[in-house]
């Protein structure tokens, strides 16, 4: 079994998380991830009210007695959700871990810590991660350019971002963006992370609460089939390549503004993609990791496969690369 600072700090068996995903982080998937020994996160804002979140937490606990967390994404808004009420619901439910994302979580940390809740903050840049560490988070999920959703504006892929974060931080680090198998887990550990976060790979599992046609679309697509929208607006998002995202990119290229694409990118349309199974219905998030997704297994099978592959790579695959230098050996010097 792989034991890391992440598993020790956050109290789970395996160094794998399923981060919050809008419309997807629901009881069925999160419970399956928890049962597999990994850390799953309900998505707070998928639930329309704090009371609905409380009910979804209870529903998850009917499916598992293993620990799980809640994602609370904090975004600027003219009419923001009642974050304090969502925060209170999380604390009152006895949730052990919160994944924060978006803006600086400083105002939420004192209450979470007072309630015995650890905070794992998602950051897309080392400077943001250092700020989060300074205000007291317990861990960082560092999100590379390969990820679905919002990768930030620096365009730094994981191969550079992960070790840069490892050099700069003292709290445990989870590597996010582009991870789908045991090879990625071993690579992340080698780069200095203490585990991985997967979103796209968990989308294509039996327990994922999205339409089977969308899961199959992820299997059929490869790493080239994403689009970066909102680039001209400095709010980049990686989404699936389809007729809608192609149109958005075209409008942006002609100098269009957000008002020109508002109807195309409406969240309600994206939700219908997952519910109705029409991949052309709207904008929906998926990462480059879809190029590594070739089936739709149960979560437990997927996790066991990843861990077995990682352990085999560590114990035999990589160890087998070490050989004594015959010249050094003949001179009595160990390589």
Examine residue 325 and state whether it is found in any structural domain, yes or no. no
Kindly indicate the confidence band of residue 313, based on its pLDDT and cuts at 50, 70 and 90.
very high
Residue 282 forms part of a structural domain: no
Domain assignment present for residue 161? The answer is yes
- Pair (203, 217) in one structural domain: no
| Domains: count for the chain | 2
Same domain membership, residue 258 and residue 121: no
Looking at the domain assignment, is residue 96 inside a domain? yes
Domain assignment of residue 177, given as a range: 5-209+297-317
What are 231-260's pLDDT values in tens digits?
A: 999 999 999 999 999 999 999 999 999 999
Confidence of residue 326 (pLDDT cuts 50, 70, 90): low
Instruction: Say if residue 174 is in the same domain as residue 239.
Output: no
Are 204 and 224 found together in one domain? Answer: no
Q: In angstroms, rounded to a whole number, what is the distance separating the alpha carbons of residues 215 and 112?
A: 35
Same domain, 38 and 100: yes
Q: 198 and 148 share a domain? A: yes
* Residue 335 pLDDT greater than 50, yes or no: no
- pLDDT band at residue 331, thresholds of 50, 70 and 90? low
- Does residue 281 form part of some domain? no
**Could you tell me if residue 324 is inside a domain?**
no
Question: Which tens digits make up the pLDDT trace of 76-100?
Answer: 777 899 999 999 999 999 999 999 9
Co-location of 174 and 38 in the same domain? yes
Q: What is the pTM of this model?
A: 0.94
Domain annotation covers residue 159: yes
Is there a single domain that holds both residue 196 and residue 219?
Answer: no
């Amino acid at each position: 079994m792989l034991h890391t600072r992440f598993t020790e700090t956050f109290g789970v068996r395996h160094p794998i998380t399923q981060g919050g995903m809008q419309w997807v982080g629901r009881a069925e998937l999160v419970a399956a991830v928890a049962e597999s020994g990994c850390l799953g996160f309900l998505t707070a804002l998928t639930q329309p009210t704090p009371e609905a979140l409380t009910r979804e937490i209870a529903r998850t606990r009917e499916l598992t007695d293993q620990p799980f967390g809640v994602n609370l994404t904090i975004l600027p808004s003219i009419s923001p959700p009642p974050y304090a009420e969502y925060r209170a619901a999380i604390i009152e439910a006895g949730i052990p871990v919160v994944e924060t994302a978006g803006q600086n979580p400083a105002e939420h940390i004192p209450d979470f810590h007072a309630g015995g809740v650890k905070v794992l903050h998602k950051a897309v840049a080392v400077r943001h991660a250092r700020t989060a560490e300074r205000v007291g988070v317990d861990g960082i999920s560092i999100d590379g350019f390969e990820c679905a959703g919002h990768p930030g504006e620096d365009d730094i892929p994981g191969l550079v971002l992960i070790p840069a974060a490892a050099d700069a931080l003292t709290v445990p680090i989870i590597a996010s963006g582009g991870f789908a198998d045991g090879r990625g887990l071993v690579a992340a550990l080698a780069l200095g992370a203490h585990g991985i976060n997967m979103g796209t790979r968990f989308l294509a599992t039996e327990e994922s609460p999205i339409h089977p046609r969308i899961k199959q679309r992820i299997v059929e697509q490869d790493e080239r089939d994403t689009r970066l929208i909102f680039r001209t607006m400095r709010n980049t998002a990686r989404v699936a390549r389809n007729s809608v995202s192609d149109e958005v990119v075209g409008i942006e290229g002609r100098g269009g503004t957000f008002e020109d694409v508002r109807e195309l990118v409406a969240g309600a349309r994206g939700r219908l993609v997952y519910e109705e199974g029409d991949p052309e219905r709207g904008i929906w998030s998926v990462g480059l990791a879809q190029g590594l997704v070739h089936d739709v297994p149960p979560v437990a099978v997927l996790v066991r496969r990843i861990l077995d592959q990682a352990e085999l790579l560590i114990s035999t695959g990589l160890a087998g690369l070490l050989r004594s230098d015959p010249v050094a050996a003949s001179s009595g010097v160990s390589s």
